[in-house]
A and B are shown apart, each in its own frame.
Chain A
Amino acid sequence: MFAADPVPERAWQVAATLVALAMLGPLLALAWTAAQGSTGLWSHMGTYVLPHAARTTLALLVGVGALVAVLGTGSAWLVSAYDFPGRRLLSWAMLLPLAVPTYIVAYAYLDLLHPLGPVQGSLRALLGLEDPRDLRLPDIRSLGGAIVLLGFVLYPYVYLSTRAMFLTQAASLLEAARVLGVRRAALFVRVALPLARPAIAVGVALALLETLNDIGASEFLGVQTLTVAVYTTWITRSDLPGAAQIALAMLVIVVALIALERHGRRRQRYASTQRPRPIQPRRLHGGTALAALLLGLVPVLVGFVVPAVFLLWESIARLQLAGTVSPRLLGIAWNTVWLAALATVVTVALGLVVAWALRLAQARRRPRAAALNLRVACLGYALPGTVLAIGLLTPMAAFDAGAGELLRLLGQEPRMLLMGSTSALVLAYTLRFLAISAGSAEAGLARIPPALDQAARSLGRSSTGMLGAVHLPLLRPALAAAALLVFVDTMKELPATLMLRPMNFETLATWLYADAARGAYEEGVFAALLIVLVGLLPVILLARAGVTWAGSERTAA
């Protein structure tokens, strides 16, 4: 029937199904590996490692969840409901901590707050103390320290979702509440907070997925989370079934967090039928305005400015000391960039395949299978890097065994194609970040009216021909944004890279990790600074999208 089409629709559907299967592979392998039973150590794991790590992880999640909810909602309400000098600046500066990965904020504060570091040193000088033992500050190398540090870099997830809600939903409801006699001061508790609950749930779920993914901060701060346990069980003890069992325990938490996010999103969709109109902010003057600005600056300072300035300062100091950066570091930076570029190309291409397959299926009114493929393909965003890596080990080993056999039959030297290769890293990055590209391709396609497809088809283009002539040009902004996000996330990725990288292969993130693990703050600062600088790019993108979005709201009103 579709003989004239160079790529028949069935080929797109098959490709999308393969992508979805590739995502399911690690999950199934995880269950299978875990079922193999630990190599005699399960009783040890069951008694000592797992319960402790699980308790620690849950405590960390509860703490971070509470902190990001308070910081995120509070800051969103501050810049939405009040107007004061600097509000505009603050409303996008609130996003800046997103540029600082969890392991870097820990890395920076560990040195900053070290007993011999600048903060405690100045405090001692101020108080006239000489012995570091005379000044006892709470140690940030603790669960409490981890909660505070993670909370201050992850709150923007909650800030983003609740601020969007306040910008689009709240105005008429708040006004209705005022008319019904709610005092202005009581609005937040009686109306805004209940209204924002779904948005808060979504933001908290995303922040906690990030917390669960974190390996660097927990490790540096000596917090024995499940993620750290997976890593040490595999890397140090080479106990794959044991690591898989811990990873499965993490998956349970992941499922709970996804359920929380879905729940929140369902309510959001329900609420978003109203006409969008932003809250009319209340103008503050004098001391109140200053207080609001200072209060709003706290999370920005703690989550971004202090660590960023520290890294910049240390980098300059090192440069002055050494005069140059080592060629090793340049090589590592290059590694990181090309690996991220390769992963970005693959991820964006596959995301487009999955989203396009859904578009074609929708045109035939048979979208169920294609929609399922897309859903499955987007699961990776919720998988902590360590869990994904453990899940990938078994399928990759199986693949290598098969390929080796094939090579032997062809009379060639068998070798590992995936295990311990950069292909393994690209595969892991692709699965982990496919949700970004598939999600934005789908959202971009959804904005293109189906009539354009029909127009292109009735004007003689095949379904694949119209992808090139119509949809790709129109999708370019969405795909470019997705590519930027994937690229930056890949550059920052630590846990999966640590587990799957080839011998002696370093990226900026692993280099920094090794630096911090040794307790030696050397060229790791450059790596950290570079990662933060690159991490600023998507924040700028987000901030600009936010501004134009708010701007269009204003012209529409």
Chain B
Amino acid sequence: MSMLALDSVSVGYPARGGPRIAVDALDLALEAGQVGCLLGASGCGKTTVLRAVAGFEPLRAGSIEIDGVLVASPSLQLPPEQRRVGMMFQDYALFPHLSVEANVGFGLARLPRRQIQARVAEMLALVGLAERAGAFPHELSGGQQQRVALARALAPRPALLLLDEPFSNLDIHTRQLLASELRGVLKASETTALLVTHDQTEAFAMADRIAVMDQGRILQCGSGRELYARPADRFVAGFIGRGAVLDGALLGLTPGEDVLVRPEHLRLDPGGGLQVRLVERSFRGPGQAAVVELPGGQRLQADLPLEHEAAPGATLHFALLPDALPRYRR
């Protein structure tokens, strides 16, 4: 059974000249223990979905069930404190006047003191901050604050954990480190989680299922591999990974059909059938990323080996591996 089920959920904000629809008839389901992700550019409505699940936005249509319990519909808005939902906020929202310990214990106020202490200690051990229990939030590094926020959200054993851009306040190195660490903690505690991000590498690193959103709708939902290999439409194709969508006829394929060409579909081959002009190339660690141009002016992304030293304007030849190309009817 689904731990989280959204059924054609719509959310709108009051605005001049009628409400602005932020989420439009959206369906989404997560199984117990799964980590789901809403991926999209800012303003696509992904955070609104999260806030509606948490209970901070009323629904205009549809329904939300958490662990089989109806928590929201146009006529029902269960208050957030009754939804068994934990939330990790973009800026962590740690209470500045409370110690780490008190922050983590905040959601446990109804338990006896002894149980609170035990649970707080357990959670701090889980995130590796047992020795900072007495510190205050402003004394911690960004990564430590994030872990306190995680411990605090998990402490009351929520049925569902919501994470709003969990890495946006961290520098790039801490991000990569903490993404795998966070996934480890979620999996170890068998938490069902829904994460919101605009960064696809984060989504790939964290999530079992990723839903790509645009303009309040989900365009495609699947694993990272599926989204990369088989984007459902042109938007997803352009949004996920590098590549270009263009008319197959230009590449000698079926006319009237668009194809997605990723760099790995192009192999540098002096005898290859695809003649292009190099526009620019940039160093990318193990290789070089290049932008090349077809005679008609359409641009493709390609990879070049590290030692390749062609100057912009040079003519290159590539072989196309046509079997793997996702195709879209026009």
Partner of B107, one of A2, A363, A366, A460: A460
Stretch in B92-100, B175-183, B319-327 with 4+ CB within 8 Å of A: B92-100
Partner of B81, one of A462, A470, A473: A462
CB atoms of A462 and B93 under 8 A apart: no
Stretch in B35-43, B72-80, B224-232, B303-311 with 4+ CB within 8 Å of A: B72-80
**How many residues in A have their beta carbons less than 8 Å from beta carbons of B?**
24
B156 CB-CB contact with A under 8 Å: yes
State the Cβ distance, A371 to closest chain B Cβ, in Å: 14
CA distance in complex: A452, B149 (Å): 11
CB atoms of A455 and B56 under 8 A apart: no
Contact mask for chain A residues 428-454; partner B; CB cutoff 8 A; 1 contact, 0 none: 000000000000000000000101101
State the Cβ distance, B41 to closest chain A Cβ, in Å: 21
CB atoms of A459 and B79 under 8 A apart: no
A179 CB-CB contact with B under 8 Å: no
Number of A-B contacts defined by CB within 8 Å? 78
**How many residues in B have their beta carbons less than 8 Å from beta carbons of A?**
33
CB atoms of A455 and B109 under 8 A apart: no
CB atoms of A363 and B56 under 8 A apart: yes
Chain B residues with Cβ below 8 Å from A469 are 106, 109
Known interface pairs A454-B56, A474-B97. Does A460 touch B91 (Cβ–Cβ under 8 Å)? no
Known interface pairs A455-B95, A462-B81. Does A365 touch B14 (Cβ–Cβ under 8 Å)? yes
B87 CB-CB contact with A under 8 Å: yes
Partner of A451, one of B82, B86, B89: B89
Known interface pairs A365-B13, A455-B87, A474-B96. Does A1 touch B107 (Cβ–Cβ under 8 Å)? no
- Chain B: which residue is nearest A457 at the CB level? B80
CA distance in complex: A459, B79 (Å): 11
Chain A residues with Cβ below 8 Å from B90 are 451
B221 CB-CB contact with A under 8 Å: no
CA distance in complex: A451, B85 (Å): 15
Known interface pairs A462-B81, A470-B95. Does A454 touch B54 (Cβ–Cβ under 8 Å)? yes
CB atoms of B156 and A459 under 8 A apart: yes
CA distance in complex: A142, B156 (Å): 72
- Chain B: which residue is nearest A461 at the CB level? B81
Chain B residues with Cβ below 8 Å from A459 are 81, 86, 106-107, 152-153, 156
CB atoms of A452 and B79 under 8 A apart: no
B216 CB-CB contact with A under 8 Å: no
A4 CB-CB contact with B under 8 Å: yes
The residues in A between 400 and 428 inclusive whose CB is less than 8 angstroms from any CB of B are none
Chain B residues with Cβ below 8 Å from A456 are 95, 106
CA distance in complex: A1, B75 (Å): 10
CA distance in complex: A451, B78 (Å): 19
Chain A residues with Cβ below 8 Å from B13 are 365
CB atoms of B93 and A452 under 8 A apart: yes
State the Cβ distance, A340 to closest chain B Cβ, in Å: 29
CA distance in complex: A459, B93 (Å): 12
State the Cβ distance, A9 to closest chain B Cβ, in Å: 10
- Chain A: which residue is nearest B162 at the CB level? A458
CB atoms of A458 and B14 under 8 A apart: no
Chain B residues with Cβ below 8 Å from A455 are 87, 89, 93-95, 152
Chain B residues with Cβ below 8 Å from A454 are 51, 54, 56, 80, 87, 89, 93
- Chain B: which residue is nearest A469 at the CB level? B106
State the Cβ distance, A222 to closest chain B Cβ, in Å: 54
Contact mask for chain A residues 463-489; partner B; CB cutoff 8 A; 1 contact, 0 none: 100000110011000000000000000
A-B contact pairs, 22 of them (CB 8 A): A4-B79, A4-B81, A363-B56, A451-B89, A451-B93, A452-B95, A454-B93, A457-B55, A457-B56, A458-B80, A458-B81, A458-B86, A458-B153, A459-B81, A459-B106, A459-B107, A459-B153, A460-B81, A461-B81, A461-B109, A462-B81, A469-B106
Interface set of A (CB-CB < 8 Å, partner B): 1-2, 4-5, 363, 365-366, 449, 451-452, 454-463, 469-470, 473-474
Nearest 5 pairs between A and B by C-beta?
Answer: A459-B107, A451-B93, A457-B80, A455-B93, A458-B87
Given A449-B91, A470-B97, 7 more pairs with CB closer than 8 A: A452-B93, A454-B80, A457-B79, A457-B80, A458-B80, A459-B156, A461-B81
